[in-house]
């Protein structure tokens, strides 16, 4: 399966432009043979645009994710539509199960090749270090997995990388590829690479981290979107500029690594 991470250029206050850039990148990825495409965290509004969160929030069936569903179907790709600021009340109105009747969440949605919504993941761990996330957003409660092209996909978001128990729970649920939309800023480059690789190594699974490319008044995203294999080996990566990061991943690779190095069987709980 060909996996493509869209390290997207984001501009604060330019939701329409960010959506156009995302659509163009998805089309380019599909034209190059992508089976699964992933976007970064809060790519449409920009992570640091805290004052815009409430204004730009929308439900799971709002305009941004409706467009993403259509693009998945048009280009015949699985699409993890990064994450958006979700208006929980708007989602509840159309029958979506939500963690609270009102408020906002940092929400990633996966669409199958026909545009069907298959999974919703709301960021569990909200970042409070110089960020307004903990004040503005409601944390998620569920940890879904989705079967796609022989993989069991799991999803987490950015700061979640610092909490290994979340990834162990996903692995226990059968996840063989975890995709991590992010908005990880400078200067914490070593944290980004070390934590991501560690989550792959300790769970003997693929981990794909898709970061943005942007500069805001509050910080600059460091890019470096990367696909790690179950050994923690880097299969594909980027610098800090906008890029499409593509790697071939296979479910058999997870099985062979776990057979060769059966650390899961040696766990003492």
Return the domain boundaries, the chain: 2-266
Give the separation between CA 172 and CA 153, rounded to whole angstroms.
12
Please name every residue paired with 2 in a beta bridge, in sequence order, or none if there are none: 248
| Share of residues in the chain with pLDDT > 90 (%) | 91
Q: Is pLDDT above 90 for 129? A: no
Give the separation between CA 215 and CA 17, rounded to whole angstroms.
15
Which tops the pLDDT comparison, 45 or 268?
A: 45
From the list 9, 41, 56, 86, the catalytic residue is 41
Q: In the prediction, which pLDDT does 77 show?
A: 98
Which helix (DSSP H) or strand (DSSP E) does residue 255 occupy? helix 251-260
Q: Is pLDDT above 80 for 130? A: no
Q: In the prediction, which pLDDT does 219 show?
A: 84
Which token pair is 248?
């071939």
Q: Does residue 187 have a cis bond before it (omega within 30 degrees)?
A: yes
Q: What average pLDDT does this structure show over 216-224?
A: 89
What does the pLDDT look like over 145-160, one tens digit per residue?
A: 999 999 999 999 999 9
Q: In the prediction, which pLDDT does 214 show?
A: 87
| Share of residues in the chain with pLDDT > 70 (%) | 100
Q: In the prediction, which pLDDT does 268 show?
A: 83
Give the separation between CA 35 and CA 178, rounded to whole angstroms.
15
Q: Is pLDDT above 80 for 217? A: no
Query: Does residue 123 have an active-site annotation?
Result: yes
Please name every residue paired with 3 in a beta bridge, in sequence order, or none if there are none: 36, 247
Q: Is pLDDT above 90 for 215? A: no
Listed in sequence order, the residues at least 6 apart from 122 whose beta carbon sits closer than 8 Å to its beta carbon are 86, 99, 105, 106, 107, 108, 138, 139, 140, 141, 142
Q: In the prediction, which pLDDT does 28 show?
A: 98
Selected from 3.40.50.1980, 3.60.110.10, 3.30.70.260, 3.40.50.720, the CATH number assigned to the domain covering 2-266 reads 3.60.110.10
Number of residues in the chain: 269
From the list 58, 86, 133, 158, the catalytic residue is 158
Average per-residue pLDDT in the chain? 96
Query: Is the pTM here over 0.85, yes or no?
Result: yes
From the list 58, 86, 123, 133, the catalytic residue is 123
Please name every residue paired with 111 in a beta bridge, in sequence order, or none if there are none: 79, 117
Q: What average pLDDT does this structure show over 79-86?
A: 98
Q: In the prediction, which pLDDT does 265 show?
A: 82
Query: Does residue 248 have an active-site annotation?
Result: no
Which token pair is 174?
């059968």
Q: How far apart, in Å, are the Cα atoms of 90 and each of 63, 121, 124, 214, 219?
A: 12, 16, 20, 29, 30
Q: What average pLDDT does this structure show over 170-181?
A: 97
Q: Is pLDDT above 80 for 134? A: yes
Whose tokens are 């610098």? That residue is 239
Query: Does residue 74 have an active-site annotation?
Result: no
Which tops the pLDDT comparison, 215 or 154?
A: 154
Whose tokens are 């790690």? That residue is 228
Q: What average pLDDT does this structure show over 228-251?
A: 98
Strand 2-7 to strand 243-248: parallel, antiparallel, or no bridges (unpaired)? antiparallel
Q: In the prediction, which pLDDT does 253 show?
A: 97
Give the separation between CA 193 and CA 202, rounded to whole angstroms.
14
Q: What average pLDDT does this structure show over 87-91?
A: 98
């Amino acid at each position: 399966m060909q996996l493509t991470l869209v390290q997207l250029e984001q501009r604060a206050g330019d939701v329409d432009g960010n959506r156009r850039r995302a659509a163009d990148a998805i089309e380019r990825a599909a034209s190059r043979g992508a089976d699964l495409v992933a976007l970064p965290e809060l790519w449409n509004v920009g992570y640091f645009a805290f004052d815009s969160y409430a204004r730009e929030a929308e439900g799971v069936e709002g305009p941004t994710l409706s467009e993403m569903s259509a693009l998945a179907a048009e280009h015949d790709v699985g699409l993890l539509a990064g994450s958006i600021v979700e208006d929980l009340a708007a989602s509840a109105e159309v029958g979506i199960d939500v963690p609270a009747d009102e408020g906002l969440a940092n929400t990633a949605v996966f669409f199958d090749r026909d545009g069907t919504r298959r999974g919703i993941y709301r960021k569990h761990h909200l970042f409070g270090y110089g960020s307004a996330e903990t004040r503005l957003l409601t944390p998620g409660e569920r940890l879904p997995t989705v079967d796609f092209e022989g993989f069991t996909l799991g999803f987490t978001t950015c700061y979640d990388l610092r909490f290994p128990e979340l990834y162990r729970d996903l692995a226990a649920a059968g996840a063989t590829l975890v995709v991590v939309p992010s908005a990880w800023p400078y200067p914490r480059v070593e944290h980004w690479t070390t934590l991501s690789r560690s989550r792959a190594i300790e769970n003997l699974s693929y981990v794909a981290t898709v970061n943005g490319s942007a500069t805001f008044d509050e910080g600059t995203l460091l890019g470096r979107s990367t696909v790690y294999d179950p050994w923690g080996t880097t299969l594909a990566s980027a610098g800090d500029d906008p890029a499409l990061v593509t790697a071939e991943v296979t479910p058999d690779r997870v099985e062979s690594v776990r057979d060769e190095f059966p650390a899961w069987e040696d766990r003492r709980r």
